[in-house]
Amino acid sequence: MAGVLNFTSLPPISKPIWRQKSPSSLSSTYNNSRNFVIKASTETTDTSSSVKDITAPANFKAPEPKLFTPRSDQVVDVITASFNLLFRLGTGVFVNGYSVSLVPKSEYPSGQYGLGVGGYVAKETAKLGPRPEKPIEIYEFEGCPFCRKVREIVAVLDLDVLFYPCPRNGPNFRPKVVQMGGKQMFPYMVDPNTGVSMYESDDIIKYLVQKYGDGNVPLSLSLGLLTTLTAGFAMIGRAGKGSIYTKAKMPPQPLEVWAYEASPFSKLVREVLVELELPHILHSCARGSPKRQVLYEKVGRFQAPYLEDPNTGVKMFESAEIVDYLRATYAL
């Protein structure tokens, strides 16, 4: 059965401009996309399976988390996924306004997240702008330097984003972008909080920093062609990953991932989410993010990536095992 978006139709536009929607339309869009992403159609057949077929692999058990310890068959992937740290000079590692101070362990509050450094704990903070009530919605794919630029500002601004992956040959969300905006061009952003939607990575970045930041675009994202080139170079080691559709089941609800753009472990999970065209809410948690404390309180530790799948009830750390789980659960 084919997965068909249960999403309010929007009129096409001829060029990337800001567009406002009525409050009632905003509510409908958000409810459809957040609470019930895909509705099966009985009129066509495709590679997608029905909701009842989505279950965790037999005898599945979530692995024990191991900090900064890649699985032996994952070492090369982690290295190549780390190229971004060189070419993008760490853009997306830190939240805007990041600061750190060392506090003796004996004086650090219990139950508070912090990175241990010898006999001290690194207390990390950041300066956040206004918080959107609803997740920003972005249509994009991994192997696109323009999309990467937008994902980087998402990390810098510490935003939650509902990502609709658009790999090449993807049957669901690429056509939806054309329906909404009139072009098959990426990234494409919809802000359900304001009704604004737009193409063009630089325009999206400017909009996000003005609306949810301090109004200033980071230097590393404001260098024009140089920014785009280095964003492309950052993906050299992962050539083709996260770009081409793999036949998969469509989940009824978006998966949730705690991750951030500059993390090589997070990158490996994101690639598979995109290839399988799995909608997911990304809780961005770069260094300085208060969401690190939220996850710490939620599960007793912080480590990225962390996956929550509301379709199966699975919750897990460890990027290699998350990749295995996603393929076993959703790939056809």
The rounded distance, in Å, linking the Cα atoms of 234 and 218 is 18
pLDDT tens across 207-219, in order?
Answer: 999 999 999 999 9
pLDDT of residue 15: 35
Residue type, 144: C
- pLDDT (average), residues 73-77: 95
pLDDT of residue 23: 35
> Strand order of the sheet with strand 136-140?
196-198, 188-191, 136-140, 160-165, 280-284, 255-259, 306-309, 314-316
The pLDDT confidence band at residue 68, using thresholds 50, 70 and 90, is confident
pLDDT tens across 87-99, in order?
Answer: 999 999 999 999 9
Q: Is the confidence at residue 192, as pLDDT, over 80? A: yes
Q: Please, which residues bridge with residue 165 across strands?
A: 140
Q: Please, which residues bridge with residue 244 across strands?
A: 168
- pLDDT (average), residues 4-13: 34
pLDDT of residue 18: 43
The pLDDT confidence band at residue 51, using thresholds 50, 70 and 90, is low
Q: In CATH, what number is assigned to the domain containing residue 242? A: 3.40.30.10
- pLDDT (average), residues 309-315: 97
Output the pTM of the full model.
0.85
pLDDT of residue 21: 41
175 inside domain: yes
Percent with pLDDT over 90 in the chain: 80
Q: Which residue has the tokens 């996260």?
A: 242
The pLDDT confidence band at residue 290, using thresholds 50, 70 and 90, is very high
Note down the domain range covering 154. 2-47+72-93+129-330
- pLDDT (average), residues 170-197: 97
- pLDDT (average), residues 270-274: 98
99 inside domain: no
Question: Which of 16-20, 85-89, 114-118 is the most confident on average?
Answer: 85-89
pLDDT of residue 22: 38
pLDDT of residue 17: 37
Q: Is the confidence at residue 24, as pLDDT, over 50? A: no
Q: What share of the chain is helix, strand, coil (3-state, %, to 5)?
A: 35, 20, 45
27 inside domain: yes
152 inside domain: yes
DSSP string, 75-138: HHHHHHHTHHHHHTTTTTSB-TT-EEEEEEGGGSPTT---EEETTEEEEEE----PPPSS-EEE
180 inside domain: yes
pLDDT of residue 52: 54
DSSP character for 56?
A: P
pLDDT tens across 227-238, in order?
Answer: 999 999 999 999
Q: For the chain, what is the domain count?
A: 1
> Which carries the bigger pLDDT value, residue 143 or residue 67?
143
Least confident of 108-112, 176-180, 313-317: 108-112
The rounded distance, in Å, linking the Cα atoms of 192 and 179 is 17
135 inside domain: yes
38 inside domain: yes
234 inside domain: yes
Q: Is the confidence at residue 101, as pLDDT, over 70? A: yes
What average pLDDT does the chain have? 87
The pLDDT confidence band at residue 67, using thresholds 50, 70 and 90, is confident
- pLDDT (average), residues 181-200: 97
Report the sign of the C-alpha dihedral through residues 214, 215, 220, 221, in that order: positive
